[in-house]
Amino acid sequence: MRIMRASELPVHEAVSRLRERSVNYDVDEVRGSSWHFDHHRFVLGTDPPGRPREDSVWWHAHKEVAAYAFTPAGLLHAHYLREAPLLGKDLLLVGRFAVMRFVMGVRITETGFDEDGVRYSWGWSYETLQGHIERGRVDYRVVKDLESGLVTLEVNSYNQVNPRAHPLIRLGWSVFGRSAQHRFYTSVGENLRRLARQPEATDTRTGDEDVVEVPRDAGSGKEPFWAIAVLDGARDPGRANTGP
């Protein structure tokens, strides 16, 4: 665990170097009481029945999810390379807790549409990389009921605190982690409901034109970029020499 600042680790370099890191767990490990499994469902609005149309609630919601622009700025913001394709995209997350900032990396490892005659959905999943405070996966899907037109966001996740994190980090997470997670997902649902009904531009530029920073009110440049690097990725025990 170490303290760093923006001048020591430029955002563009930090995002680019995430490519060197692997997913920090194996799916065969996901069992037992040390893992948490969550499902959240948020109503975003109602569209006319049938497949989604352009400029609808579903359409705007899926655009916001694609840009990862719906996260609560007070809890987390993210940086990613503008031209990177969605599948395989690396996100540099800066989690916020009180005066502390935690720098973590995730990778989008699955995307896709699904339609079964009843529901029409689209979404993506990310998995945690070496150096993340947690180990696990989060799946976001924007879903439309084709008969009623109801549009929802479904969030499914499993996670555990990284057993190689600093003992103080693990202690803090055991006390505050679960409540922070639930607060985060509640805010995600509220933000996306608002954005799906009142869409805004999703392209938030940083000082580096190759990098996008989200959400749009993340406050880039308004405060010092002091943060805690939770782990040295090289020592993280995940799939060290494999892809996601």
pLDDT digits (tens, 9 = 90+) for 176-193: 778 888 899 999 999 999
Instruction: Please name the fold of domain 2-234.
Output: Alpha-D-Glucose-1,6-Bisphosphate; Chain A, domain 4 (3.30.530)
How many Cβ atoms are within 10 Å of 175's Cβ, its own excluded? 10
β-pairing, 2-4 with 36-46?
A: unpaired
* pLDDT of 219: 54
Lowest mean pLDDT, pick from 97-101, 146-150, 161-165, 205-209: 205-209
How many Cβ atoms are within 10 Å of 114's Cβ, its own excluded? 11
Helix (H, G, I), strand (E, B) or coil at 77: strand
pLDDT digits (tens, 9 = 90+) for 42-78: 999 999 999 999 999 999 999 999 999 999 988 898 9
> Per the confidence metrics, is the pTM higher than 0.95?
no
Residue 209 — very low, low, confident or very high, per pLDDT cuts 50/70/90? confident
Q: What are phi and psi of 184, to 5 degrees?
A: -60, -50
pLDDT digits (tens, 9 = 90+) for 15-30: 999 999 999 999 999 9
**Where are the domains positioned within the chain?**
2-234
Judge whether 105 and 45 are in contact, CB under 8 Å: no
